[in-house]
A and B are shown apart, each in its own frame.
Chain A
Amino acid sequence: MAKRTTSTAAKGAPVYIVDGSRTPQLKARGQPGPFRASDLAVSAGRALLLRQPFPASALDEVIIGCVMPGPDEANIGRVIALRLGCGTGVTAWTVQRNCASGMQALDCAYRNISMGRSDLVLAGGVEAMSHAPVLMNEAMVKWLGDWNAAKRLPDRLKLLGRLRLRHLSPIIGLLRGLTDPVVGLSMGQTAENLAYRFGIDRETMDAFALQSHQRLAAAQDGGLLADEIEPLYDPAGACVLEDDGLRRDSSVERLGKLKPVFDRPYGLVTAGNSAQVTDGAAMLVLASEQAVKDHDLKVIGRIVDCEWAGLDPAEMGLGPAYAMAGLLKRRRLKIEDIDCWEINEAFAAQVLACLEAWKDADFCKRELHTRSPLGEIDMTRLNIDGGGIALGHPVGASGARIVLHAARLLERIEGRYAMASLCIGGGQGGAMLVERG
């Protein structure tokens, strides 16, 4: 039985989304990519700030979500703020709520603005997953401690004799980060749990994954992401313009051939129907009514509300089902009121499970406390331009990316409400409701 948390900021002053930009998302290719986390955020942020009518120093604060900043990026929010030329007087901080860190940053900005503590905030998320640390194991660290303590040559020789090959086996930070420390399951295994519980088969997952690639391809071809993405320029003199994880050659057959990676050898979740490991950043400017007036800002949307939910870590992928339900209930909205949905695709199984859950009368009654099932989300309104499976899921950034994209989408389809939601490793869900203009 899951327990909901309730946002207290629901009745505050309005909070506007002024503008936003993100980097192209770069698929991790087995070694550190050309950009560290702060490089990514600075790249997206400086282009965003350049086009604002106010100077960077006019910001009240900078809030950044990031799960694993690099070793030289302690309080990466502050590093980014200073590198963006905000000046020493603009405060900055970093938040971490795993996969929803970027959304958490927006929620923090939203709360501070609606409470009247801030007027103009740069908020967003960033992750350079390809730079995730590789650590020494504990035996090695202990050995090094002994080595430093040993001053005499005989002692040191003795220590050398004790050094074994196993001392050198590293800890891959990324794998540990994607494994739940409480229930001991990898994120992929939690998705297998959901597939099992809701009876989602491999074909449906792969079809969903294929659709994600096809939709992203269509969006790229139509230039629909151009006002959202700022190119990345790497030190070698090349530039990246689009999300590079897209597989235009993807097909049901190709996806069908992939082997499961989490529950080997007969599981369902493959690399093809999971989100890609990716580097990226998304940054937004949020403003109060006063700031909009002061700087004569054009706004693209408004953050109406935000909701967080907790659930069983072994089923963390259902997070959106809980969080979105809570948000709709508080705002007295129905499924039909939402013009577009951005549910982050951590795993095809997980998104599909959320949809199934809302159709399941028993689940809705017991878990979401509704008398009747919430109903069916129209697939043509869900992840219209593809999602994490095609363009990747840089964990700290995705929460900010989907809110930015939802706001842009509302403009494009001339809708009123958009829902952005994601599941969170450790058993949580986050949802943010955006209203146009």
Chain B
Amino acid sequence: MTETEKFWRTERDADGVESWILDVPGARANVLSKAVLTELEQLVAAAEAAPPKGIIIRSGKETGFIAGADVNEFLVMNASIDVVHEHIRWTQALFDRLERLRCKTVAAIDGFCLGGGLELSLACDYREAVDEPHTRIGLPEVRLGIHPGYGGAARLPGRVGHLAAMDMMLSGRALSARAAKRLGLVDQAVPLRQLVRTAKALVLEKPRSREPVWWQRLAGNAVLRPIVAMALRKTVAKKARKDHYPAPYALIDLWQRSAGNHARMLAGEADSVSRLLAGDTSKNLLRVFFLQERLKGLGRGGSFKADHVHVVGAGVMGGDIAAWCALRGLTVTLQDQSPERIAPAIGRARALFQKKLKLPRLVQAAMDRLIPDVKGIGVARADVVIEAIFENLEAKHALLKAIEPRLKDGALLATNTSSIPLENLAEVLDDPKRLVGLHFFNPVAQMQLVEIVRSRFTSEEVVADATRFARQIDRLPLPVKSSPGFLVNRILMPYLIEAVRLEGEGVQAEAIDGAALEFGMPMGPIELADVVGLDVCLSVAEILAKALGTEVPERLRSMVAAGNLGRKSGRGFYQHRKGQVIKGKYDKGLFVPADLTDRLMLSMLNEAVACLREGVVEDADLLDAGIIFGTGFAPFRGGPLHYAGDAGISTLRKGLDVLSGNYGDRFRPDQGWSSLEGEA
């Protein structure tokens, strides 16, 4: 080992095979920073001069191979397209040199191998991966608004075939070791105990790697490429619009132009990625990435760790929270009044486990961890007790009173209420300090956000433990103040109400949802109301209306009174069949108000500004994070407040003034806009 080696450690064994072990000091995961690559360049140069018998590239970390490029450096670099372009070209050249080394090279992957990490691996002769669930291999760049730039787009089709490669890069999804083996992305999927032996065998025995099957190669044929590209664009268009998310389209263009030509692909990657990085979408998606990291970081430190969770209430929320906790490895007792009420939750849990865990052995273990508990015996054993019964103050009071004396020392007592102020719930407790809100969103398995709701009484320690627990079950914690609707529902509700009002005024539901989709929302507000359930919307709207002095449209009341509750009853604003919404054609001949989008989005933004002013969350970034992860708010816009800044605070405020002139007080700009204007 030489003095200059800070990131890479090298070892040479008796057979002359060298191991290059990456262990970035002080970091939890390895990333390919400029410094790491610079040191790799020295290793490559040395190997060029005196090649060892073979080279094994692996990680010195407990978990993970290489998590990707250093995203932090992107932020610094994307000040200038040229700097980025130059860095990419330099890295590509380095990987080319690695690929051309005279000895065989193998990437020994254990854990995460993502983005730049996989691109480095692709420059090796062989790849092998540890066949364990923690191994995830993929190119997730599109999720940051870019695409692979270190030769990934150029090399991947040669390994797995064109269609499979494009699918991986366009979806950004990560593969298990076994799936990667099936695709031919890795040469071997092995148990950890065989990782080094296999690596050595590969570099010394030099077997031929498997080639993609003929039709996978055929798809890259120059004559067929335009047709394939067209089909790919069509598939992508179903998920992401080009004006919102340009990266996948740029990748398809690049592939159509240059697939099969290594040098041109590399040059194209560099041009395209440096351009994308300079665009707003990528900047905002990077922002979202860092917001996510910030939420993840909130749960760090502290020693709280739960083994057993007790959930009371096996309805949609309670049952799904219980299933999620069991999926994440906790023992869960699920309580409700009768076995008949618990059974459907067990059925849903089973479907979830099967989808996520696949292996029957793991599904069985998760099912064994989820224990129906009609008598509520689990309360006394649980580290976390979550109340998720129906929204009724008296019922919750009775329950909390019964639970409190049975709790273990130090156990968390949480409520999943979405509308009852925690202060009101805590008043029956001997120790109101210990009640905290863990507000999950529906569907639990898809919505990453959990609002950590603190009342006036809740102790800091309890908030910290709850936050830590949210991380333990791999959710994103967002600390919020217990005020009506907390953060997410409060900001969502005026927007939903406005949508319902518009529909009541005779605007076609499809047009309203269309406007929201155009803005970048993942689902239109009318459809969302149907999915959530109009009865649920009404009850939340009424609670908020009381607290915030707004009105609930008559239309919503009459729909609920008529029993049209949305998806669950088969009929709401739309018809629903087998859980699928049936939408009509967007009829352009019908009346569409010019201020449709403004009425929807400014309702939301105005409420966001009010929440910030009232301190419902600590700062604007946390607010944006909450709305993005809690509602799916257009990630490429970077969050509502960030968007407000981009769109211009005074412009938006003027827009609200116009709307309040036309429609009344509900659009009166919140006082908070002035202080935002002051900052801008």
Contacts and interface: CB of A to CB of B under 8 A. Distances in A.
Interface of A: 42, 46-47, 50-51, 83-85, 231, 233-239, 241
Contacts of B364: 83
Contacts of B347: 234-238
B3 interface: no
Nearest to A50: B377
B346 A83 contact: no
A241 B369 CA distance: 21
Nearest to A42: B368
A139 to B, nearest CB: 32
B373 interface: yes
Interface stretch (B336-344, B645-653, B660-668): B336-344
B343 A233 contact: yes
A239 B340 CA distance: 6
Ranked nearest first, the 5 interchain pairs of A and B with the lowest CB-CB distance are A237-B347, A239-B343, A231-B339, A235-B350, A233-B346
A235 B370 CA distance: 12
A247 B364 CA distance: 33
A238 B368 contact: no
A237 B367 CA distance: 12
B618 to A, nearest CB: 40
Interface in B347-380: 347-348, 350, 364-365, 367-369, 371-375, 377-378
Given A235-B347, A237-B347, A46 B339 contact: no
A83 B368 CA distance: 7
A241 B77 CA distance: 65
A231 B334 CA distance: 14
B333 interface: yes
Contacts of B369: 85
B350 A237 contact: yes
Contacts of B339: 231, 233, 239, 241
A50 B348 contact: no
A47 B375 CA distance: 10
A238 B371 contact: no
Given A83-B368, A231-B372, A233-B372, 11 more contacts: A46-B371, A50-B333, A50-B371, A83-B365, A231-B374, A233-B339, A234-B347, A236-B347, A237-B346, A239-B342, A239-B343
Nearest to B340: A239
Contacts of A236: 347, 350
B322 to A, nearest CB: 12
B418 interface: no
B331 to A, nearest CB: 7
A237 B344 contact: yes
Given A50-B333, A51-B377, A85-B331, A235 B371 contact: no
A83 B361 CA distance: 11
A21 to B, nearest CB: 12
A37 to B, nearest CB: 13
A51 B371 CA distance: 12
B342 A233 contact: yes
Nearest to A231: B339
A32 to B, nearest CB: 15
A271 to B, nearest CB: 30
A238 B339 CA distance: 9
A237 B381 CA distance: 26
Given A85-B368, A231-B372, A237 B378 contact: no
Given A50-B333, A50-B378, A83-B364, A237 B348 contact: yes
A231 B375 CA distance: 12
A238 B377 CA distance: 22
Contacts of A235: 346-347, 350, 367
Contacts of A47: 371-373
Secondary structure of the B contact surface, majority rule: helix
Interface string B309-348: 0000000000000000000000101000001101111111
10 contacts: A50-B377, A50-B381, A51-B375, A84-B368, A233-B342, A233-B346, A234-B346, A235-B346, A236-B347, A239-B343
B267 to A, nearest CB: 53
Given A233-B342, A237-B346, A237-B350, A46 B378 contact: no
Contacts of A83: 364-365, 368
Contacts of A231: 339, 372, 374
A83 B331 CA distance: 12
B338 to A, nearest CB: 9
Interface in B64-119: none
Interface centre among B350, B371, B375, by most chain A C-beta atoms within 10 angstroms, is: B371
B526 to A, nearest CB: 30
B373 A238 contact: no
Nearest to B350: A235
A50 B372 CA distance: 10
Interface string B215-257: 0000000000000000000000000000000000000000000
B346 A50 contact: no
Contacts of A85: 331, 368-369
A238 B373 CA distance: 15
A84 B369 CA distance: 9
Interface string B425-442: 000000000000000000
Contacts of B342: 233, 239
Nearest to A241: B339
Contacts of A46: 368, 371
Contact of B343 (A42, A50, A51, A237): A237
B367 to A, nearest CB: 7
A67 B104 CA distance: 56
A234 B344 CA distance: 9
Nearest to B378: A50
Interface string B376-398: 01100100000000000000000
Nearest to B361: A72
A47 B347 CA distance: 18
Nearest to B353: A235
A325 to B, nearest CB: 42
Nearest to B374: A231
Contact of B373 (A50, A84, A241): A50
A174 B348 CA distance: 33
Interface string B400-428: 00000000000000000000000000000
Contacts of B368: 42, 46, 83-85
Contacts of B333: 50
B366 to A, nearest CB: 11
A118 B378 CA distance: 27
A20 B375 CA distance: 16
Contacts of B373: 47, 50
B364 to A, nearest CB: 7
A47 B376 CA distance: 11
A73 to B, nearest CB: 12
B343 A238 contact: yes
A42 B367 CA distance: 10
A404 B339 CA distance: 23
A241 B343 CA distance: 11
Contacts of B346: 233-235, 237, 239
Contacts of A234: 343, 346-347
A103 to B, nearest CB: 26
Nearest to B346: A233
Nearest to B372: A233
Interface centre among A50, A83, A84, A233, by most chain B C-beta atoms within 10 angstroms, is: A233
Interface in B433-474: none
A235 B381 CA distance: 25
A50 B345 CA distance: 20
Contacts of A42: 368
A146 to B, nearest CB: 32
A50 B382 CA distance: 11
A287 B587 CA distance: 75
Nearest to A236: B347
Interface centre among B367, B369, B381, by most chain A C-beta atoms within 10 angstroms, is: B367
Nearest to A49: B371
A210 B373 CA distance: 35
A46 B369 CA distance: 9
Interface string B507-549: 0000000000000000000000000000000000000000000
